[in-house]
Amino acid sequence: MTISRNKLLINAFVFLPLASAYISSGTHHLARTRINSASPSSTSTTALSSNPPVDVKTRAALSSAVAGAVRSSGVPGAVVAAAAGGTAFFVAKNILDRGSRKYGSGTVAAEYDAWTQDGILEYYWGEHIHLGYYDEEAMARGYKKKNFIEAKYDFVDEMMKLGGIDAEDTKGKNVKVLDVGCGVGGTSRYLAKKLGKDSAEVTGITLSPNQVKRATELAVEQDVPNANFQVMNALEMTFPDNSFDIVWACESGEHMPDKKAYIDEMMRVLKPGGKFVMATWCQRDDREIPFTQKEQKDLNFLYEEWTHPYFISIEAYKELIDATGVMNDVTTADWNKQTIASWRHSIWVGVYDPRGFIFKPTKYWKCIKDGYCLERMHRAFDRGLMQYGMFAATKTEKEE
C-alpha cells in the first residue's frame, strides 16, 4: 500500500505534536489518569480535570522503573520504541476521533467567541471564515501556489456572480444587504466596499459578541461606514418582513438546529424581487442509498467536533426553499471541486508559518484538534460523503 506524500506529511503534522504532548507532558489529563491508576491510592478519581499534577520526582521514578523493566526483559530497545510509538499513535488517534465540541445551547457563540479572542483563526484565514475558490488553472498549477487569502476573495466574487449581484446594477439604489452568519465581517465589508458607500448598506449578524466587536473594529479601521453588525439569532431575526434587497448566507447553515426555520426566516426578510444566495456544507442525499455505518460514524464526528447539530443534502435544502412558495428560478450547484483544496491548504499554511500559534502553548491541543478535523473534512468531501451546496434564487415580485 502506498501513502501519498501529502497524506503522510499532514498526518505527521497532526500526530507528531500530539504524540509529543502525550508522551512528554506529565500534567496532561490522560497521562495523569494512567499514572494515578498505577499508583496506590485510597481515593478514586471522579473527573480528569481534578487530577493533581504529577511532580518531577514521580515522573522520574516511573521513567526509571519503565526503563529498568525494558532492560531486564531482553527486548531490543528499537522494538520497544516502535511499539511505544505505535501505541502512542493509536491512542492519540482514538482520542482525536472523539468529537469534543458537540452542539448544544450556546456552544456556537462560545466557540466563535473563543476563536475570535485567541486570534489564531484570523491570523491564518484572514477576515473570511469560509473556504476559498480554486479554478481549474489554480488546481493545475498546484493549489498551494495560490494565495490562501486571495482564494477566499475569489470565492466571494464567484458567489456574487452566482447570485447575480453586480455593482453596476445596484449603483445609486441604496440597496439593503443582509449577511447571515457574518463572522468577523470580512464579506460584509467587502460587499459594502464593492457595491459602494452611496449604493449599499450591509448588515451582518452573528451569535458571537466577540465577532461583532471585531467586525465593528475592522469596519472603523478600514473606513467602511456602510457595514454594521449585530448579535442576532438567524432563526429569530427581529427585522420586519421584506427588509432586504439581498440576503447572503455563507457557511452558516451548518450550525442551524432548524434548517426549515433558517430558510423561512431568510425568505421572510427578503424583499419581493430580492436576490438570495447561499453557500453551505451539505451531506449527500441518503434517501435512495442510506449511509453505511462507517459513513454515519464519520458524519457524527463532523457534527460533534465543530458544534454542528446536523447537515442536510443539497436536494433537501432546495425542497425547503421551494416549500416557501415565494422563490423563483432556484439554482443549485455542488462546488466541491472548486473548494476542496481549502481543507488541506488550511493545514499547510500552518505548517509553513507556525507563528500564528507557536507562542500560544495553551492552544496547541486545540490547534491539533482543528488540524485533524480539517483533514477529516477533506476526506469526507473527497469521498462524496459531503458536498458543497450553492443556491441562488429570486423572490417573486408579489407574494401570493
DSSP string of 137-167? HHHHH-GGGS-HHHHHHHHHHHHHHHHT--H
Can you give the residue range of the structural domain that contains 44?
5-96
Residues in the chain: 400
CATH code for the domain in which residue 249 is found: 3.40.50.150
Res 53: pLDDT: 40
Measuring CA to CA, which residue among 387, 143, 175, 217 is closest to residue 286? Answer: 387
Q: Based on the domain organization, do 36 and 124 belong to the same domain?
A: no
Intra-chain end-to-end CA distance of the chain, in Å: 61
Q: Cα separations (Å) of 199 from 119, 192, 245?
A: 32, 9, 12
Highest mean pLDDT, choosing among 5-14, 15-24, 99-108, 111-120: 111-120
Return the DSSP state at 259: H
Q: Which three cell numbers stand for residue 208?
A: 458571537
The band of 206, judged by pLDDT with boundaries at 50, 70 and 90, is very high
Which residues, other chains included, contact 162 with Cβ-Cβ below 8 Å and sequence gap of 6+?
277, 331, 333, 390, 392
Q: How many domains does the chain have?
A: 2
Q: What mean pLDDT is predicted for residues 192-203?
A: 97
pLDDT the model gives residue 71: 54
CA dist 159 and 299 (Å) reads 26
Query: Do 267 and 381 share a domain, yes or no?
Result: yes
Q: Is residue 400 part of a domain?
A: no
Q: At residue 269, does pLDDT exceed 90?
A: yes
- Residue 27 in this model has a pLDDT that exceeds 80: no
In 3-state terms, what secondary structure has residue 306?
coil
Domain membership flag for residue 17: yes
Instruction: Determine the 3-state secondary structure of 130 from DSSP.
Output: coil
Does residue 26 carry a pLDDT above 80? no
The reply to whether 270 and 180 lie within a common domain is yes
Q: 220-258: per-residue pLDDT in tens?
A: 999 999 999 999 999 999 999 999 999 999 999 999 999
CA dist 36 and 23 (Å) reads 15
What are the residues whose beta carbons fall under 8 Å from the beta carbon of 135, sequence distance 6 or more? Answer: 154, 338
pTM of the model: 0.80
Q: Could you say which of 46, 74, 96 is where a domain stops?
A: 96
- pLDDT for the residue 16: 43
Share of residues in the chain with pLDDT > 90 (%): 73
Distance CA 98, CA 112 (A): 20
Domain boundary among 45, 61, 96: 96
Q: % helix / strand / coil in the chain, to the nearest 5? A: 55, 15, 30
Give the list of residues 6+ apart from residue 243 with CB closer than 8 angstroms, or none: 176, 178, 269, 271
Mean pLDDT (whole number) for 208-231: 99
Starting at the edge strand found earlier in the chain, the sheet holding 244-250 runs 227-231, 200-206, 175-180, 244-250, 270-283, 386-395, 327-334
* 253 within 8 A of 321, measured Cβ to Cβ: no
Rounded to the nearest 10°, the torsion over CA 166, 339, 303, 86 is: -160
CA distance 286 to 322: 20
Is residue 102 included in any domain, yes or no?
Answer: no
Which of the four pLDDT bands, split at 50, 70 and 90, describes residue 199?
very high
How confident is the model over 354-377, as pLDDT tens digits?
999 999 999 999 999 999 999 999
Higher pLDDT, residue 80 or 328 = 328
The DSSP symbol for 327 reads E
Q: What is the mean pLDDT of residues 306-335?
A: 98
Question: Does 261 lie in the same domain as 152?
Answer: yes
174 and 82 part of one domain: no
Q: Are residues 34 and 130 in the same domain?
A: no
